[in-house]
Structure 1
Amino acid sequence: AKLSGLRSKWLNSGKVVVESEGYKVKANINDGEFSGTIKVSSLASFTLRVYHDEKQLHSERFSFPGNADFIVVSDIDDTILVTEVTSRLKMAYNSMFKDVDKRQTVNGTPELYREIGSGATGIGNPHFVYLSSSPAFLSRSLKAFLVRNNFPPGTLILKKSLTSGDHDGHKTGWLKKVLDRYAGKPLLLFGDSGERDPFIYRSFVENKENPSLVKGIIIHEVTSRNEKIESLKEFRDFLLKKFKIPFIYWSKISELKQSMRDDGLLK
């Protein structure tokens, strides 16, 4: 398993020891960051512990269950968490300085995700993958947000750092990895219109060997700009005509749920 982490700025050099159920690896800290590769007993479930000077700094269990009937891949910022990515200043303030207990959910999304998690799609038991381009140092606050608002448990995937690769490459790369890990499983994709999610998901479908496994693409519309709305309409018509894949863009949760019912994605 590849690993990466970010320590506070004062720990800008030295080494950490990462342990996983008997396996150990040392990693150099460079300007607060470290990365490496460690063997794990099973990719389905494993625990990582990080030590510095023989003191445990962090412990976390990771789970990639193989018995899921389908996979929900969801962006975070402005998909389920109000971030205002269309304003760089507001995005920076919300992400860096606002307490996690004051962060707002996108209205209705915790309840919707819990419905999906309880089998309301009719597809079966899902595994949630929260895929974001937020940097790894926001991991704890994002996990706290998910837990505090009772989102279904799942796998959180972030970028190593602010400068480690581009947004499209990060998301596309991980979509392919999820596809490989859960080969043959249906996918439901959630994102927002603030950045690149519609383009990334469309490209993913076009380059997929079996696009019919994508059961739907759901985009939270956050800009209200006419040209963006027209682009979303074009995406919807294209995906429906060529691949028979529902493409839903929404601003009110009640309208989203009705659209999902109309497209057979919600009971």
Structure 2
Amino acid sequence: MLGRYFSTPIPEMKVKIKLSGQEFETVSDELGYFSEWIYPEKTIEPGWHPIHFSICGEDGTDVCVNTGEFLMVHDHPDFGVISDIDDTVLVSHATQILRKLRLILTKNAKTRLPFEGVAKFYRKLHNDKNPVFYVSSSEWNLYDFLADFFEIRNIPKGPFLLQEFKSGFRDLFFSGGGSHLHKIQKIQRLMNLYPGLNFILIGDSGQRDPEIYKKALHEFPGRIKAVYIRKIGKKDEFEEETIKLFKEKGVELLMMETTKQARQHALKMGYITSDN
């Protein structure tokens, strides 16, 4: 874990992207990351597909070749899911710095715990066709840890939209912190990318998720089917005004003590077909 936060990014590196026999090029930014729109010639079926990346060496040869995956969303999903991770899926104690740091430094993908019932509930929502996107204040440094954790715990795979890369002990100490406003930008990106798709939003009360989801509610009226918020800590972070506001817009905001409560509501509303 220390290595993840003391690594050094390599900016302005030429990166090759290979997909279905086509080759594309882009350049890494100042944090060593790259983002590129590509337009393949062939139609790609829904589901997960491999894609190959490599760094261009000084002599033009490919070095550091790696394989990733990308998701093509099904043509007719029932809805999409946008979920937070820390203290929503993964027990993180994100609002308690010392407990959070202890977890980060002493546990790994095999020993960290999800909340009870999360894997089953998310598999029901996913239903082999509904896309699940994970929007989190965790940094990109933690991507491999999160990918391993989700696989080990059998939680549906989905694209991660994380916070920018950080480096150094201070950033490790305050991992997952900040304003969390980057989340609304990523939610906007997803809802604009899939304009015909409605979403279920899942979060917790510890990192301003109700406030962030309220902004999405105003910006995308009629696009949010339900909001599930896990209550974190002893203090009730909810204001009756916020719950009332969602209700007035035709969206139920459910504050849940357990995942089972959200699962029962989803069953009642027809978002999942069974509770077995």
**Could you state the TM-score of these two structures normalised by the residue count of structure 1?**
0.80
- How many angstroms apart in 1 are the aligned matches of 2:149 and 2:231? 22
Structural RMSD (CA): 3.1
Q: 1:217: which partner in 2? A: 227
Q: Secondary structure at the match of 1:101?
A: coil
Cα gap change, 1:23 to 1:217, in 2 (>3 Å): same
Deviation at 1:213, TM superposition (A): 2.0
Q: Counterparts of 1:244 and 1:134 in 2: how far apart (Å)?
A: 31
Residues matched between the structures, number: 248
Distance change (3 Å), C-alpha of 1:224 and 1:264? farther
**AA aligned opposite 2:89:** I
Out of 113, 136, 140, the position equivalent to 1:132 is: 136
CA deviations on 1:107-134 (whole Å, 9 max, x unpaired) are: 1100111111228xxxxx3111011111
58, 62, 67: which one aligns with 2:70: 62
Identity across the alignment (%):
21
Q: Greater strand percent: which structure?
A: 1
CA distance in 2 between partners of 1:129 and 1:249 (Å): 21
| 1:231 and 2:229 correspond | no
CA distance in structure 2 between the aligned counterparts of 1:39 and 1:214, rounded to whole angstroms = 27
Instruction: Name the residue aligned to 1:122.
Output: none
Question: Mean Cα displacement is larger for which, 196-205 or 19-28?
Answer: 19-28
User: How many angstroms apart in 2 are the aligned matches of 1:165 and 1:77?
Assistant: 11
> Do structure 1's residue 259 and structure 2's residue 251 form an aligned pair?
no
Question: Counterparts in 2 of 1:243-254, with a 5 A limit?
Answer: 243-254=249-260
Output the TM-score relative to the length of structure 2: 0.78
Change (3 A) 1:152 1:42: farther
Write the mapping of 1:61-80 to structure 2, written as runs, cut at 5 A: 61-67=69-75, 68-80=77-89
Q: Is the 8 A contact 1:18 1:27 kept in 2?
A: no
Partner of 1:154: 158
CA distance in 2, matches of 1:199, 1:171: 11
Distance 2:16 2:178 in 1: 27
Q: Does 1:170 pair with 2:182?
A: yes
Query: Where does structure 1 lack aligned partners over 5 or more consecutive residues?
Result: 1-5, 120-124
Q: Which amino acid aligns with 1:194?
A: G
TM-superposed deviation, 1:136: 0.6
**Cα pair 1:75 1:190 within 8 Å, conserved:** yes
SS at match of 1:152: coil
- Counterparts of 2:36 and 2:266 in 1: how far apart (Å)? 41
1:170-206 deviations in Å (ceiling 9; x for gaps) = 1111111111111121100000111111110011102
Spell out, residue by residue over 1:146-186, the C-alpha distance to the aligned partner (whole angstroms, 9 max, x if none): 11111112211112224999543311111111111111211
